[in-house]
Amino acid sequence: MDNQTKLSRNRISILILLAVFSMVILSSHTFAQSKLPRGTFVGGDWAITIGSKNQFRVREKGKVVVVGTYTVTGDQIAFSNERGIRACTEAGMEVGKYKWAYDGKDLTLTKIEDNCEGRVNALATQSLVKQKM
């Protein structure tokens, strides 16, 4: 094998390694953003705290007004109100489904299906900014 052939094979090997490395980096970034973040997110008078054990709390002007649970499937989240002065617990209003996106700072919830107008107004009318602990 001559030097020219060896050099070409080395270049091809380096290009393949760079391509694989790039795919690994991009997929790890996508994975990091595909997990619903925990913490408190604020938008206007509203704050939602997404906690462990699939529990959430919504505050209005600092006062807890809804406590409930959530489930996540991919980029969708379903909120189930359980109690609170603003909880929608009537038939057909218990669960609200949203698409979620998080860019490392803002959590955006986009309504998919929700008959609870109060929940939609609190969660889906503005981006919710993650608060630092």
- Residue 123, sorted as left (phi over 0), alpha (psi -120 to 50) or beta, turns out to be alpha
Rg from Cα positions in the chain: 22
Q: Are residues 3 and 54 in the same domain?
A: no
Q: Are residues 29 and 45 in the same domain?
A: no
Q: Are residues 53 and 107 in the same domain?
A: yes
Coil, helix or strand at residue 56: strand
Cβ-based neighbour number of residue 111 at 10 Å? 14
Cα–Cα distance measured from residue 88 to residue 81, given in angstroms and rounded to the nearest whole number = 6
Cβ-based neighbour number of residue 116 at 10 Å? 22
Q: Are residues 5 and 29 in the same domain?
A: yes
Give the closest residue to 58 by CA, choosing from 71, 45, 76, 72.
45
pLDDT for residue 18 = 38
pLDDT for residue 98 = 98
The CATH number covering residue 84 comes to 2.40.128
Q: Are residues 59 and 121 in the same domain?
A: yes
Q: Are residues 24 and 55 in the same domain?
A: no
pLDDT tens for 61-94 read 999 999 999 999 999 999 999 999 999 999 999 9
Q: Are residues 62 and 125 in the same domain?
A: yes
Structural domain tally of the chain? 2
pLDDT tens for 36-55 read 999 999 999 999 999 989 99
Q: Are residues 46 and 109 in the same domain?
A: yes
- Identify the domain containing residue 13 by its residue range: 1-33
Q: What is the pTM of this model?
A: 0.72
